Amino acid sequence: MKDLDFPIFKNRSPAGSGQAKSFDLTDQKQRQEYFEYKAGAEIKKLKDFLEKGNTFVAYLMGKKSSGKGTYAKMFAEIVAPDKIAHFSIGDMIRSFDSVLKDENQKKEFVEFLQKNYRGFIPLEKIMESLEGRSTKVLLPTELILALAKREIDKLGRKAIFIDGFPRDVDQVSYSLFFRDLINYREDPDVFILIDVPTNIIDQRVKTRVICPLCNTSRSLKLLPTKNVEYDKAENKFHLICDNSACSGARMITKEGDENGIEPIRERLNKDEMLIKQAYALQGIPNIMLRNSIPVAQTQDYTDDYEVTPEYSYEFDEKENKVLTHQKPWQVQDDEGNDVNSLMPPPVVVSMIKQLVQVLGL
């Protein structure tokens, strides 16, 4: 990210230690073993911290589709699923669609706002915004704070990863007082800033496919299913959904994904600006996560299996089957440097180790 220096986290197994291992990071059991191998001592410290009733508030800040939810959910899965919550402001707003369609729930919702919302926009206008909302229009910060407090109260006392706040300039400074507003008065808080090159986000969007039956998401280029089909008439390869709860349909490109980041470029630029503002804010520590490593330094800083693979396919006429090939995925970052993208687990290892330092464990 331009103007911000995200350090490269060294995660490579020690050379000559005789302990080097290889893990399939897409397999849940091996992923558990990987985290124990790479950050077992730090994970134990975090578990002990949470077992004693301690919590924290972490603000996930990254561009759209930078992996915020993935990192938070993986962290919780590894450390303490019952003591950590991932709270998405966007999911919260979308959840009110069903609330507003139910008269009883809507009545309770309005009564809550009458007691708790403090702002300059009349409540009638707020309800109109919620019922006919556009994703291009940001709801007032005072409303977001009231609604977030309402939903977080339902979670009980857990460590919280906040996804989607701050979302605008004024909310960056509000975040300094957010933990007080949600009654986490003495809990440590931290910004988790995520750097992902724009080209990586663009390729993720363009190569994403979904199952038309169960909405499972995969990527022909970056995250294939076990079953790949070749259509001779189209001269194209297709992923077949392998969700165990699905009948296995041919996966399709979601309308608009072929345009990549172009429809959200303005949003990405704003996200980057907010990350830079958060970095400059005083009084709250930063955890810096980077998704990529310069190609020239990859071998020194990470193990081969931690690099995101890129998949390609060919159809073997003699065997009448699809052959799958993979190699380290290489792209250019926003400064034009050749970089390798990292799988989510090594990024989460970096987050675990930095959080232990921030919490003073």
Task: Give me the residue spans of the domains in the chain.
Answer: 28-83+158-358, 89-156
**pLDDT of 146 higher than 90:** no
pLDDT digits (tens, 9 = 90+) for 226-268: 899 999 999 999 999 988 888 889 999 988 888 999 988 988 8
**pLDDT of 91 higher than 60:** yes
pLDDT range class, residue 147, cuts 50, 70, 90: confident
What is the pTM for the complete model shown? Answer: 0.88
215 φψ region: left (φ > 0), alpha (ψ -120 to 50), beta (else): left
Correct CATH for 28-83+158-358 of 2.60.40, 3.40.50, 2.20.28, 1.10.150: 3.40.50
Query: How many angstroms separate the CA atoms of 343 and 305, rounded?
Result: 8
Backbone angles phi, psi at 83, to 5 degrees: -120, 5
DSSP category for residue 284: S
Rounded mean pLDDT, 40-47: 97
> Nearest-CA neighbor of 346 among 64, 9, 19?
9
Residues facing 330 on adjacent strands? 340
Query: How many angstroms separate the CA atoms of 69 and 161, rounded?
Result: 9
Residue 170 burial (CB count, 10 A): 10
Which helix (H) or strand (E) is 341 found in, with range? strand 338-341
Q: What is the pLDDT of residue 302?
A: 94
